[in-house]
Structure 1
Amino acid sequence: MTVRIHWSLPLDSGQQSASGGFDAGVVDVDTMISFAREAEEAGVDSLLMPMSCYMPDPIPLLAALLRETRRVRFILAYRPGLMSPTLLTQVINTLACMGQSRVDLNLVAGISPQEQAYYGDFLEHDDRYRRADEFLGIMQALWASREPVTFHGQHYQIEAATLGLRHPGDGRPYIYVSGASAPAKALAEERADCWLCYGDLPAKVGVHAAPLLQAGKEVGLRLHVIARETREQALDAIAEMMARPDEKHRAFIKDFVSRCDSEAVKGSFRLAEQYPDHWPSPYLWTGAVPYRGGPAIAIVGSYQEVADYIREYERHGIRNFIFSGWPSRDEMRHFCGGVMPLLQKEAVHA
């Protein structure tokens, strides 16, 4: 299989419905461990550990999950501005030593001034990316050399930083950078291994991905998926998930997005509004976006149709896919049992 399949590990209730609210305020570590072990057995490459104010902090949970798994990797989503780059490097080195280097980093500059303010962060959009560039530059310098690191920038002042605990093998994590704006793409080209974006039509994604691919970077998509044995069953699943929409939650999301300055988030809503029937293509569905936000753009269809659509993205150079579902564990079972064997079979015969 030439594509890599990742899954978002639910840190909240697992989002049982495509049109429901968030069930926050619960930490169920045993369920997360069970989910991670099942994903590992199913052949999922990595599990995304998302971060948001309505979720538990991912770092202590990641430490627990590393001790309970053996192969699956973890992608830690984190934001500059919450801790110093030296400290986050130290945290990742510690986690990597605990888990056989199975920790990667998804650096997210932030999507909402409102939420950033919760943490005492009031930088404007482009300044957040300039800070992220300094942040990643310091981290990469700490990973690249045993010499003390000194940095004098606009956002960080670091003097002779050294870490006694190195990343295993003097390596570093694989780095993802998310975002659709020009500063996000520039940061990904300069500092990342993979640029992540939300779903869109394959040809459109290919246009945006081309400069990054030409620069030698990988490109990945953050999506949901609804895959069943037949297309009719997948459409029935959508009807069931949207049967009892939480309009109060939809209003909350609308207000939240109105305050966002993320081009990725705004772009996903523009895509949803552009197609009032919710179908930009026969296999791409946006109906849950007003309730769940940008990642809710979903590939929908039979197992074979979903596999074929993933291959369409792959033809445009996309090789990383971070999926979710409603409920996420059930959808992972459908995908890994029905779609993944087709992707593996097609790769063998390619």
Structure 2
Amino acid sequence: MSQLQPNSASADFSRESRIGLDEIDIFSTCPQSTGGDPKTYRQRVVETARWSERIGCRGILVYTDNSLADPWLVSQTILEHTGTISPLVAVQPLYMHPYTAAKKIATLGFLHGRRVYLNMLAGGFRNDLSALGDDTPHDERYARTVEYTTIIRQLLENPAGVSFEGKYYRLRNLKMSPPLPRSLQPGILISGSSDAGMAAARAIGATAIKYPLPPAEERGPAKDAEVACGVRVGIVARSSVEQAWQVAWERFPETREGQLTHNLAMKVSDSDWHKQLSTHSDTATGGDNPYWLGPFHNYQTFCPYLVGTYQRVAREIAGYIGLGYRTFILDIPPSEEELEHTAIVFREALAG
């Protein structure tokens, strides 16, 4: 096993191996801690972050829920062992006061001179919310998240003092130190699958993220929405369609247990995106249609997949870009090689 080296920058990578980021932002996803060996989890986090940095990802999503390691501490590890990539930290308002979240952002900026992104959560697993004593209805959770994010923004942008009077939070001349430079102000993402989510994105200036339908069925962001939009999608691409589907089926085999777990999760979820994907027919059969919900229906991952040749999947990605989606969040990469295949897809999509 290779030794972890702090502040390992990626400036020596060939430009040809990287995805161009002038038009779009690409985030990969960090491995989850559940079911992992604590002795190797840190190594997996660092390796995945370095792979993602190597191909030119803007950042890497770090999940949070009641069962996972703290995303801020995982993000600290990422910052210590990479040179440019930004953690996209999932933020659950129930876990901490917005002042605490703002303090963490400011401190990471102070220690590392690096920007972080925030993936604002309005909900979560129903059992997680119940365990925390929260029974706030769906749309009100978004209203609470708007207040929460607004406070974070104001504290970081106005460190000399912030007062705030809202339904959920109240502040009196609260100061933030250390101050965060303007260049390191966090990027904000939030789910945009519901009307409440889109309204929240508009209110806090966030990028609204969807779990998309196939490009031919997607309407894209409304022209008058005034909200930046992106999608969450997994990719398996190879030089031949047969090879791509073989890899996809081996990685995500169909299981009865997974299907039962998915059905159970549907019964207790009030998530709009979960319901939208669950009602969509999965027409991919291993042929030319790349859109595949098999991993989602078998409770192996939460996003749709695009499976096929580099060129075919690139056309789908280009379709999303053409609709106005400028941010892409990828699924957890199983290997550096898999991310390199994905990089080929994005380079072809942008070149076309």
TM-score of the superposition, structure 1-length normalised? Answer: 0.86
What's 1:288 paired with? 295
Specify which of 73, 80, 85 is matched with residue 86 of structure 2.
73
* Equivalent pair of 1:225/1:298 in contact (CA under 8 Å): yes
Structure 2 SS opposite 1:160: strand
What's 1:11 paired with? 32
* Equivalent pair of 1:46/1:75 in contact (CA under 8 Å): yes
CA distance in 2, matches of 1:277, 1:283: 6
Q: Deviations 1:138-169 (Å, cap 9, x if unpaired)?
A: 11221232342222222112222111211123
CA distance in 1, matches of 2:332, 2:89: 19
Higher relative contact order (CA closer than 8 Å, sequence separation 6+): 1
Structure 2 SS opposite 1:226: strand
* Equivalent pair of 1:151/1:158 in contact (CA under 8 Å): yes
What's 1:263 paired with? 272
Counterpart amino acid of 1:289?
A: F
1:23 equivalent in alignment to 2:23: no
Structure 1 SS opposite 2:134: coil
Return 297-306 or 166-175, whichever deviates more. Answer: 166-175
Change (3 A) 1:278 1:288: farther
CA distance in 2, matches of 1:280, 1:54: 37
How far apart are 1:108 and its partner, in Å?
1.2
What's 1:223 paired with? 233
How far apart are 1:191 and its partner, in Å?
0.6
Counterpart amino acid of 1:232?
A: E
The equivalences for 1:42-61 within 5 A come to 42-61=55-74
The equivalences for 1:58-137 within 5 A come to 58-137=71-150
What's 1:154 paired with? 167
* Equivalent pair of 1:67/1:98 in contact (CA under 8 Å): no
RMSD: 2.4
What's 1:19 paired with? none
Structure 2 SS opposite 1:62: helix
- Equivalent residue pairs, number: 330
* Equivalent pair of 1:92/1:103 in contact (CA under 8 Å): yes
CA distance in 2, matches of 1:114, 1:139: 27
* Equivalent pair of 1:111/1:261 in contact (CA under 8 Å): no
Change (3 A) 1:91 1:227: same
What's 1:241 paired with? 251
Counterpart amino acid of 1:231?
A: V
* Equivalent pair of 2:51/2:339 in contact (CA under 8 Å): no
Q: Deviations 1:121-147 (Å, cap 9, x if unpaired)?
A: 221211111111111121122123234
TM-score of the superposition, structure 2-length normalised? Answer: 0.85
Change (3 A) 1:126 1:279: farther
Taking every aligned residue pair, what percent have the same amino acid on both sides? 25
How far apart are 1:292 and its partner, in Å?
2.9
Change (3 A) 1:155 1:280: farther
1:37 equivalent in alignment to 2:50: yes
Change (3 A) 1:164 1:242: closer
1:309 equivalent in alignment to 2:321: no
Structure 2 SS opposite 1:77: strand
* Equivalent pair of 1:222/1:321 in contact (CA under 8 Å): yes
* Equivalent pair of 1:77/1:105 in contact (CA under 8 Å): yes
CA distance in 2, matches of 1:125, 1:234: 38
Structure 2 SS opposite 1:296: coil
Q: Deviations 1:45-98 (Å, cap 9, x if unpaired)?
A: 211111123321211011111011111122111111211111111111112223
Structure 1 SS opposite 2:172: strand
In structure 2, list runs of 5 or more residues that go unmatched.
Answer: 1-19
Change (3 A) 1:205 1:92: farther
* Equivalent pair of 1:111/1:265 in contact (CA under 8 Å): no
Q: Deviations 1:3-43 (Å, cap 9, x if unpaired)?
A: 2222111123xxxxxxxxx7357461112112211221222
Return 258-267 or 171-180, whichever deviates more. Answer: 171-180
What's 2:3 paired with? none
CA distance in 1, matches of 2:328, 2:140: 28
In structure 1, list runs of 5 or more residues that go unmatched.
Answer: 13-21
1:322 equivalent in alignment to 2:329: yes
What's 2:10 paired with? none
Counterpart amino acid of 1:312?
A: G
**Greater share of residues in helix:** 1
